[in-house]
Amino acid sequence: MERDQLGGQRDDPDRKQGEVAPSLGHAPSLCRPGEVQAAAIRVQAEPMAAISSVAVLGTGIMGAPMARNLRAAGLDVRAWNRTPEKAQALGDAGVEVAERPVDAVVGADGVVTMLADGAAVERVMTDDGALAAMDDEAVWIQTSTVGVSAQARLAEAAAERGTAFVDAPVLGTRQPAEAGELIVLAAGEERLRDRCRPVFDAIGSQTRWLGDVGSATRFKLVLNGWIVGLVETLAETLGLARALHIEPQAFLSAIEGGPLDCAYAQTKGAAMADESFEPPAFPLRLAAKDARLVLEAAREAGLTLPLMRATCSQFERSIEQGHGDEDMAAAYWASRQR
């Protein structure tokens, strides 16, 4: 496994496929008639096949393109969404659309959840019966950003059911999801890595394995804290620019290509400069949810984050102004002088 500067482990394409933790079994007896010999006990490592059929639960901005890319990669895909209209178009891509979560998961090698928050995942997997309906050998790949507490509850539910669980939030928005270029942050048992590889290769450009279940969710929160903080700082900067009669594009041009620049600032800054936030790459209401999850994790760790509290407040202010379904760059409206 190749380590990188972010502290994870990148998936190694040369790694031997199908390696799993051994299970104990009895070897055939080697005793000949009349010979007293203890029966040998040996480890039988039966490789588990890589995932070839997937149920995708949640087909919104992220889940729908993930389902399409999984099908395009040759996997059998069934999909479900609570609002059926959002899933119907997937039929044209060869995805079978299920009426209920349980219909989607039965017989699938892997179940991918990509829903709005932890409560939504819990409702679908436990209340709606999807977890109970999963095949015993299937893997639950939890890609939603749900926070530390919810992730622990989901992992516990999987353990109680005896279901293999991979904590795998993804980094990226609509465009990387459509291009199959998400960054998958994965954590779980090493024996599951090769089984999950076809799924992760189909939806992402790279996979970073980070250790035990829970570590991927924690890492995602660190990354999200940086992203939402950057967006809010940019929103306030461009709001100030307009208030001082400076064109926002002048600021973006001044930093372009220099040490103060970053691609995300140019992308979101261009939307703010044009005051154009449709269609959303990632809705502001979900970015606000992510900011709250960062605060929750910090609080549980005994840490105070004043900037993140201010970011949450400004995001909520823009949402109250009616911008929750616009791109997260619409956080700009809270700092716009009226």
Within the chain, how many helices (H) and strands (E) appear? Answer: 13, 13
Annotated catalytic residue 220: yes
Read off the amino acid at residue 175.
Q
Q: Using the CB atoms, write b or e for 49-88: b if 16+ within 10 Å.
A: ebbeebbbbbbbbbbbbbbbbbbeeebbbbbbbbeeebbe
The closest of 71, 77, 38, 87 to 54, measured between CA atoms, is 77
What single letter denotes the amino acid at residue 174?
R
How far is residue 151 CA from its own chain's centroid?
Answer: 12
Integer-rounded Cα Rg, in Å, for the chain is: 23
User: 3-state DSSP call for residue 159?
Assistant: helix
Long-range contact set of residues 156-160: C-beta below 8 Å, sequence gap at least 24: 157/122, 157/125, 157/126, 157/131, 158/131
- Compute how many other C-beta atoms are within 10 angstroms of the C-beta atom of residue 224: 22
How many Å apart are CA 9 and CA 58, to the nearest integer? Answer: 28
Cβ–Cβ < 8 Å for 103, 131:
no
Q: Which residue out of 16, 220, 268, 289 is catalytically annotated? A: 220
DSSP 123: I
β-pairing verdict for 204-209 and 9-10 = antiparallel
Q: Which residues are catalytic?
A: 220
